[in-house]
Structure 1
Amino acid sequence: MRERAAKTAAAMAAGSSSVQAPPKKKTPPAQFFREVRAEGRKITWTSRKETWITSVMVGIMVALAAVFFLVVDFGIGRAMQFILSLTNAG
């Protein structure tokens, strides 16, 4: 723990421009594709039913948001018409 703190302090004191990252190891293409395939096996895909339900819920929320903003826009428009009619009446 102290070594890590000392390295961090030394790196910060030296400035970030002079600190270089260690060179990355080259991975052979065959090993890379094996690792990609292994990671791909860990993926859990949603079922068709879950995807359908989620899509319907998103559609409902979009419709509700559209109605909400329609009502708010209508209300603000009416309020602005009222305020502008007061200034033109006098």
Structure 2
Amino acid sequence: MRLFGPEAGRPRKTLIKDWAADALTATAEDRSGSAHPSATSVAWVTGRWSECLSLAGSEASPIEPGFMAGAVEAARQAVQEVTGRLS
């Protein structure tokens, strides 16, 4: 709220955006895409790359991939991985 003021604490509506329908964001493949991503315990990054690369996108989340909650969890996990490497 500090950044946007007290009005930010009182949202007036929720907007849902279909990014696949946005011509400036998506490709034809995005519009014809497949099923929603499924959560998996399989590592997205393996081998030597796993020592230096962390993914923070929602699709890489172990919970709710493709959703904002998944993005938050993926970011939290990536921060934990990176800070672990730095300590």
Give yes or no for TM over 0.5.
no
| TM class by smaller structure | under 0.3
Q: Which has the higher helix share?
A: 1
TM-score (norm 2): 0.25
Mark the structure with the bigger radius of gyration.
1
